[in-house]
Each structure stands twice: as C-alpha cells, then as structure tokens.
Structure 1
Amino acid sequence: MRLTRRHMLAGLASATATSAWAEAPSGSIRPRPRNPEEYLARLPGGADLVRKTRLPGQVGFAVANARTGEILDSHEPDLPMPPASTAKALTTLWALDRLGADYRYETTAVATGPVTNGRIEGDLILAGGGDPVLDTDDLASVVMALKAQGIREIGGKVKVYTGALPFLHEIDVEQPDHVGYNPAICGLNLNFNRVHFGWERSGNSYSVTMDGRSGNYIPAVEMARMEVIDRSGPVYTYEQSDRTDSWTVARAALGSGGSRWLPVRYPGLYAGEVFQTVARAEGIMTAGPVERADAVEGVVLHTHRSDVLPPLLEDMLRYSTNITAEIMGLTASQTLGPVRTLQGSADRMNAWLKKTYGLRTVSLEDHSGLGDDSRITATDMVRAMVGSGPGGALRPLMKEFALDDRRFQVDAKTGTLNFVSALTGYVSGPSGDPLAFAIFCGDIPRRDALTMAQRERPEGGRGWIAVAKGLQRNLLELWGKKYLL
C-alpha cells in the first residue's frame, strides 16, 4: 500500500485518540442536553413555511390539540376554501351518525308471479337499495341463488327498480363527459356506474369492447356503445338517447391498444342488462330488453346484502370513490325524509355539522368534494376532527399518511382537484396529546380559468400539486417536532 500524507495524518489522529481514551475521561462523554425552549425557539412557524414555499394561490391551516381543541398554530384559519375529497371525512361522520355502523344495503330479486316448475309466471324485478359497491360478481351470486332454487325461466321481463335514491345524471356538471369518477347515481348501481372500454389495433382499424367486468365475469353490454372516428380531437364525444350511452373516440388518441373506464348514465338499465346476460349464461331463459319498474310488488326470491358500513367507508376514504360518498350522504339524508338533489342532501349535512360540532362556515354542495363551489375553513374542519376525537370512529378508517420522520403517525384524508390540494386528519408522536389538523391550498382563479378541455390534465397542474403536498408534509413534520417530542 502506498503511504500517503493522508494515511499518516489519519494514523496520528487514531494514535492520539487511543492514548487519550486509555485514561478515564475528566468529564461526561455524553453530549450536553439541548435547551428545549431554545430548540423550539429556533423552529420556524407554520406561516414561515408558507412564505418560504411561495405556492401560488392561498393557504389556510390550523392544528389543534385533538383532546382539548386548543389551537396551537394557524395561518388564515378562517379563510373559506374548497375541501376537495377531505369532505368525505365529514360524510363518514354523517353516515355513521344517521345510519349506524351495522347498516347494510340490500339488493333484492322479486318475482311478480308464482314460480311453477322452474318458471317465474311474471316479471323478475331487480330492486336496488342504493348499494354503492355492488359489482358483477354480486349480481352473479343473485343469479346462482335463483338457479339453486330451481328457476330456469323468467316468463315475463327482467325489470329494474331504481327509486330507492333519486336519479342524478352526474355528480358535478362542471366535469368532462368522459371521466369515470363523475357517473350517474340512482337506487341501483353497478361497478361504481362505470363501463369498461377496451380497444386493440387490428390492421388499419380497431376492435373495441364495452363490458361490465368484475373479478370473475366479463359480460358485454349493448346500452353503452363506442365508435372510432377519424379525427384529431376532441378525444371523446357523448350523446344520450332514451336507453343508450353513445360514445365516439378519436382514432389519433388510441395508439396500439388500451382501456379505460367510462361513466354510465343509465345505471339501472346497465345493471339489468348485466344481470340478464349472466342469467342467460347460467341457463336461465329471459326474453326481450330490460325494462324499468315503477314499484316493487311480489315475492322476494333472494336478497343480496352489502358489508356493514365501516369497511365500505374505509374503502371510500382509501380510494376516494365519489359515488360511494354521494350515495352514503344521500342515504343518510333520507332518514330525515325524501331528498331529490345533492345540494339538498348536502344542506342537511351542513346543518348537522353546525349543530353537532359547532362549525360556523361550512357550505358543502355535495358529499364527495368533487364540486369546487363547496367551502369550509381550516378552523371548522379541525373542529370536526376534534369533535370526532382521536379515539373516535373516524381515525381508524383513515389511511396512513407516511412521513419521512417515522416518529410520527399520521392518519388522514387527502383531497385533490385542479390547483386545489387539501389534507385533514390526526398526527401522534412519542409524547404529548395527538393533534388534529387541516391544511387547504388553492389557486382558485387559475382553476376557474380552465376550459372544459383543459380540466383532465391542465398545464402546470402536477407541478403545483407537488409543491402543495411538499408544504403539507413539511408542516406536519414541523408540528410533530414542536408538539409531539
């Protein structure tokens, strides 16, 4: 080995250190404990982080002791902001209060006539109870239950009843037609009211499929149709008839192949057609197209029940499914009487939030947060988090939000719209009471300036969201160091 000046200096330093440590040290080898007050004084405030980040738009936040409600840090806490999908946390509280944790949705198969020698002498009504998570596998289980009873033919029609909930053409009128997170809603829903569109290049043309697939079945559907058009844009167009969702797609956007989910505007007919297709595949004869039923009268042959509410709500919060939130909110509102619109249902929830948790400035227009005219302040969101409590029913349903500093456990709900980012929930640490927080970021003028064509992937949108999320993480780690160590 070549002896260099650096090796010599390192050896001398090592020898000196060994000699020094041969004797007992004259003082403690442990570092002096830092002054906690001095350490905390050096930490920036939350408002300092906001200024340093320079996120275009506005930021409002509040953090409180989750047990006492004492506000520990805030910035523009009373500024009304869009909650985006953090509104689903409030909907969770509303649904649990009005419906109870043991509530289950029911979908029933009802015969309008007697069953004779395996033949239903009348219609078979598929009656929805609003189940937001009903899928094709669930409908297949209904078919198999009928088959097990010996039913081999439906003498009348397959009909669908959707009146358990109001029919809503879409959740938010300001969304593009083709986005799968903005479907129709009614009392009978299937596969989150989305149809699977697949395409594959075949020579100079494309083969396309429209189906209602789930885990074990891929039934083709006729009520949703797609045509490939030789144009550069728009990518999708939509037209509606009395029974059919008619789509076109630009050939230039398809590439060699792919798939996506499109929204369904006739959920009842969609569910009925899928049910009929699966029934025929299992040897149950049915005739004619699916029809609508105005009422449900007859003998219940089978009832499919959903899981209880907490797992449904946990999935809703984890995957931020808009249709589940809206159905939960509507179902809860209808315990107080019929409701026909999302705004009417949201008004009932707003009133309940004010009465139950003391919220002052809350005006939600739906239950999912998809509508960007909804407003709430960080102070009010924190009031709801404190009111629910860190040991209450909401926190266990929230998704874990990982920070780089693993000393802190965060359970939260995110919310994202174009140029809007929100986060609310709870954070715990090695010591101290848990914290409840809400952080709202939004560049509303920039969002409002977007055209309909720009709303799915606006220029600059991803970068803005990344900066907002970075600010949120920095705030959480700051609060953890200040209040939980």
Structure 2
Amino acid sequence: MKVSYLFFLLLLHTGLAAQLTLERVIDDFVTSPALEHATVGIAVREVASGRQIAGRNAELSLIPASTQKLLTTAAAMDLLGADYRFRTRLVAGGDIDAGTLTGDLFIIGGGDPTLGSPYMDGVADLETVLENWVAAIQERGIRRITGAIVGDGSYYGTAGTGRGWPWSDLGNYYGAGVHGLNLNENAYYLSFTQRPAQGSTPPVSGTDPAIPGLRFINELRSGPANSGDNAYIFGAPYNYDHYVRGTIPRGSGQFRIRGAIPDPPLLAAQLLREKLTKAGIRVDEPATCRRLFAGTIRNGEQLLETFSPTLAEIADRTNMRSVNLYAEGLLREMNKAAGTPAHELDDTDVIVDWLEKRGLPTSSVRLRDGSGLDPRNFFSPSFMTAFLVDRAGAERWLETIPVAGRSGSLRNTLRGTAAEGRVRAKSGTVNAVRAYAGYVDRPDGQRLAFSVVVNNYSNSSLGVSQLLYGLMRDLVTARL
C-alpha cells in the first residue's frame, strides 16, 4: 500500500476519532491492510481502576523490542535506588618512589556505562577523561611506570553482549556489549570517502577514536544519492577483523557510521598509554587488559576515583534514546548487587523476581536480556499494561519516558496533534517489529496505560509507524 494512502487514512481517522469508540479505533488499526500478514496485540487499561477496557490479542506473548527497557529501568531504580552511582578508579599496582611506579597502573572499572560518553549530559567526554587520568598521575609525581597500563573490566566478567543477539548487530554501535570498564559508550565512528559512481567501493578513511589492530574487510558499495546509511559492520567482541557490507550514498564527501569497540578495557589502556607518552611519562610495557594480563594483580594506592551520574539520569538516556548499552549495564548491576556470580550477570531472573514480588502476572513473560535487542524476548500487551498501572505512581521513573512532540524519541512526533504533551511512550524497533507502550492523559483528566505490538509485518516500516502514531493520537480523543 502506498504511504500517501496511509496518510489519507490517518487524516480521516483523526477527524473521526472524537466520534469513534475506542473499540472501533482499535478494530480499524488491527484490520488495516498494511497489517494484513502481521501479528498485532493491543491492551488498554484505566490507570485509576487497573481495569482493562479494550484490546486485541492482549494475552498473546509478542516480541516487545525496546519497550522492554521500561521494565529494566523501573526495576533498577527500585532495587538500586534513583541516586545510585557507578565508580571508576585509577590505582597504582606497586610502590611509588622518586617518580617511578615500580609495577603496573590499573584502570579499574565499576560498570559505569557513561564513562567518556559524548552524549550524556554532565559527563566528561573521552578526551577529558584521559586528560584527568594523566593529571592524576602527574600530580602524584609519577614520571615512569615500569610495568603496563591495564584496563580492568573484570567487574562484569567477559560476557558483555546478550546471549541471543544476532550476528548482524554485534559489530554495530547498538550491539556494543557492556563491560566492567566502558568507554565512549563502547562505540567508534568509522569514516568513508564517498565515491561519485554508484556501485563503487568507498574506501575507509579512519576511525574515531583510533583503535589499534582493528582491520576492515571493506565490501561496501555506493548506493543512490541520498539513500542514507544502509551499512553494517560484522564483527564480534574481542575480534579485530571486521567486515563492512551494505551501502552508503554516492557523493564526494565523508560519510560516517558507528561501530562497536571490540575490547573497551583494552582500548582505555591503549589510549591512556598514548597520552602518557605524549606527556613525557615513560611506560615500559605495552598496554593490556585484565582479560589478557599475565602479571600479578596488586591493589595499591588509589590515584583517582570518579563517579557516574545518578541512576535516574542514566535511566533518562536509556529510555529517551533507547541505549542498549545502558540497559544491559543496569541489568548486570542489579545482579551484581544481589550477589549473582560473574558468569550469570546477564541473567534476567532478577527482573522477573522483582515483577512477581510486586504481584504482577508473569506467565507470558520471557526475558533474555535487559535491552530488548534479543529477538526471543516476549511478553503480552496485557502484562505490559498491568506493569504500567503498577508503576504509574513512580514519578521520577515516569520522567524517563519520551513525551509526544516534546522529548526523546518522540520529540518530533505527533506535534500539533491532540497527542502532543498527552502521550508518554517508549518505542520498540527490531527487524519486522514495531511497538509502543506508555500512558495517555486524556482531556477529561483520565489516564490510560496502553501497549501496542506489531510483529512480522510485511509492509514498509514507515507505513506501520504512521499507523502507530495515528493509534496513539486517537487514544487521546476516542470515546471510551
């Protein structure tokens, strides 16, 4: 179906929404030709009473994509506290005498997912983080380190990614795993020099930051002008041979995509060693990481300790911008606080147990990660709305959810409609999955909780998105 026709349907529905019942609005959505081959689930509840007032396939377990982050952030804010902070330490692993550290220097991560983030408000960027580490070493009078700079990411073990994450995601920024020591949101920019001829290969021109040893097998092609980013990086954690496939637009400038750093703890040590050398501080051994370190671990003098923003602020970015890295960090930190062994820190029972203790129905729930990136997560729309009703009084958590026409991923959506400022919802998108879950504040003062999930659609993502926007708009004005 052409997108223009879908827009026509949306405009027609908008004009009739105030005269249509909620059941009719939902029926029109579910029976849309654009969703003919899809599986659709919808649930709508009154927040005040908790009563489900409308739905279709509300009890069907469906893939929720990133709407699952609502569960992870809510559990983390409750179990760890909104003011919880992660810490990172710079520690001398030996004696310091006459300007010489006899031993190794450790960067000891405590799971902070925001360390060196270029996007998180109030956080020192990567360059500043490195400069602060160098300054702390200089202030202690160290001019030589006889050992190595060691990036210690052992806090969370080595399993940074989800168990079932697709191979096609792992090399890209949204598939960056979380480590005990994270840096720059564990992502880098990969730049290409565009070529004017369609079908030609645009050469790699570099990465930012530079990553020693990272090699690209470039199978990229130049697509039509203005065709956008259709490039993917295929690689795995701790692997330094990455393939680049797909297309970027033909042209004559530079074009950037984002990839996942293969080993963030190692890169942190490498970048710090480079900075120290430039500052005139000698480091005798090559940089390494705790995973590869063959030396003796010594917990000596602490040179610097830094802390992340509060967990509530981290949850803001997790939900507003749907950052998988942050959600996975919150999952592992909840397990860490509960005493879970390092090899099980990606276990989701900590969230399910929390839900069950709150009396929520979990028979439809299967969680395999904290972010929703795993394609085998599922739960029902009815469960999601029951959860939303339960959390409706958690004001600080509610602030983490995007508002239509105002903030986050909905900032430019539904502006100038009845939904602007009245719909607060988290989106979810993975391959052939679109979902939204959140709240609707109606003009009569009534608040509704809703969940809508579309799985396995064969129409365009744009067309499905427009239908979802229309549904959220109509939830504001339809007769109940």
- Answer whether TM exceeds 0.5 for this pair: yes
1:167 and 2:158 matched: yes
How far apart in 2 are the matches of 1:271 and 1:440?
40
Q: CA deviation at 1:115?
A: 2.4
Aligned pair partner of 2:448 in 435, 443, 448: 435
1:420 and 2:426 matched: no
Residue equivalent to 2:205: 208
1:122 and 2:114 matched: no
Q: CA deviation at 1:409?
A: 1.0
Residue equivalent to 2:87: 106
Letter in 1 for 2:331: G
Residue equivalent to 2:216: 226
Aligned pair partner of 2:467 in 465, 471, 480: 471
Residue equivalent to 1:321: 323
Within-5 A mapping of 1:320-359: 320-340=322-342, 345-359=347-361
Higher alpha-carbon Rg: 1
How far apart in 2 are the matches of 1:235 and 1:426?
35
Residues 159-204 of structure 1, C-alpha deviations (whole Å, 9 max, x = no match): 1211111212533442315322112332111112223222337999
Q: 1:252 to 1:77 in 2, by over 3 A?
A: closer
Aligned pair partner of 1:387 in 387, 390, 415: 390
How far apart in 1 are the matches of 2:381 and 2:244?
42
Letter in 2 for 1:174: P
Q: Sequence identity, in percent?
A: 26
Residue equivalent to 1:376: 379
Q: CA deviation at 1:355?
A: 2.4
For the 8 Å contact 2:60–2:381, the answer to whether it is kept is yes
Residue equivalent to 2:122: none
Q: CA deviation at 1:275?
A: 2.0
The answer for unaligned runs of 5 or more in structure 1 is: 1-37, 213-219, 447-459
Q: 1:129 to 1:69 in 2, by over 3 A?
A: same
For the 8 Å contact 2:418–2:477, the answer to whether it is kept is no
Residue equivalent to 2:476: 480
For the 8 Å contact 1:156–1:287, the answer to whether it is kept is yes
Q: CA deviation at 1:319?
A: 1.4
1:363 and 2:366 matched: yes
1:190 and 2:186 matched: no
Residue equivalent to 2:264: 267
Residue aligned with 1:276, SS: helix
Residue aligned with 1:143, SS: helix
For the 8 Å contact 1:421–1:440, the answer to whether it is kept is yes
Q: 1:207 to 1:77 in 2, by over 3 A?
A: closer
For the 8 Å contact 2:19–2:478, the answer to whether it is kept is no
Q: CA deviation at 1:407?
A: 6.4
For the 8 Å contact 1:194–1:261, the answer to whether it is kept is yes
The answer for unaligned runs of 5 or more in structure 2 is: 1-17, 117-125, 224-229, 406-413
Q: CA deviation at 1:235?
A: 7.2
Higher RCO (C-alpha 8 Å, min separation 6): 2
For the 8 Å contact 2:22–2:475, the answer to whether it is kept is no
How far apart in 2 are the matches of 1:89 and 1:378?
13
How far apart in 2 are the matches of 1:160 and 1:374?
33
How far apart in 1 are the matches of 2:427 and 2:106?
40
Residues 182-234 of structure 1, C-alpha deviations (whole Å, 9 max, x = no match): 1233211111222322233799994632332xxxxxxx331423355799999
How far apart in 1 are the matches of 2:274 and 2:187?
17
Letter in 2 for 1:221: I
Q: CA deviation at 1:122?
A: 1.8
Number of aligned residue pairs? 422
Q: 1:253 to 1:50 in 2, by over 3 A?
A: closer
How far apart in 1 are the matches of 2:389 and 2:202?
58
Letter in 1 for 2:378: R
Q: 1:54 to 1:259 in 2, by over 3 A?
A: closer
Q: CA deviation at 1:464?
A: 2.9
Q: 1:221 to 1:200 in 2, by over 3 A?
A: same
RMSD of equivalent CA atoms: 3.2
For the 8 Å contact 2:21–2:479, the answer to whether it is kept is no
1:48 and 2:39 matched: no
Residue aligned with 1:325, SS: helix
Residue equivalent to 1:6: none
Q: CA deviation at 1:62?
A: 0.9
How far apart in 2 are the matches of 1:274 and 1:149?
20
Q: 1:42 to 1:330 in 2, by over 3 A?
A: closer
Q: 1:185 to 1:209 in 2, by over 3 A?
A: same
Aligned pair partner of 1:286 in 283, 286, 297: 283
How far apart in 1 are the matches of 2:104 and 2:44?
58
Residue equivalent to 1:10: none
Residue equivalent to 2:38: 57
Q: TM-score, normalised by structure 2?
A: 0.79
Q: 1:43 to 1:96 in 2, by over 3 A?
A: closer
Q: CA deviation at 1:49?
A: 2.8
Q: 1:288 to 1:334 in 2, by over 3 A?
A: same
Q: 1:84 to 1:222 in 2, by over 3 A?
A: same
For the 8 Å contact 2:437–2:450, the answer to whether it is kept is yes
Q: 1:417 to 1:342 in 2, by over 3 A?
A: farther
Residue equivalent to 1:94: 75
How far apart in 2 are the matches of 1:406 and 1:231?
41
Q: 1:342 to 1:254 in 2, by over 3 A?
A: farther
Q: CA deviation at 1:353?
A: 1.5
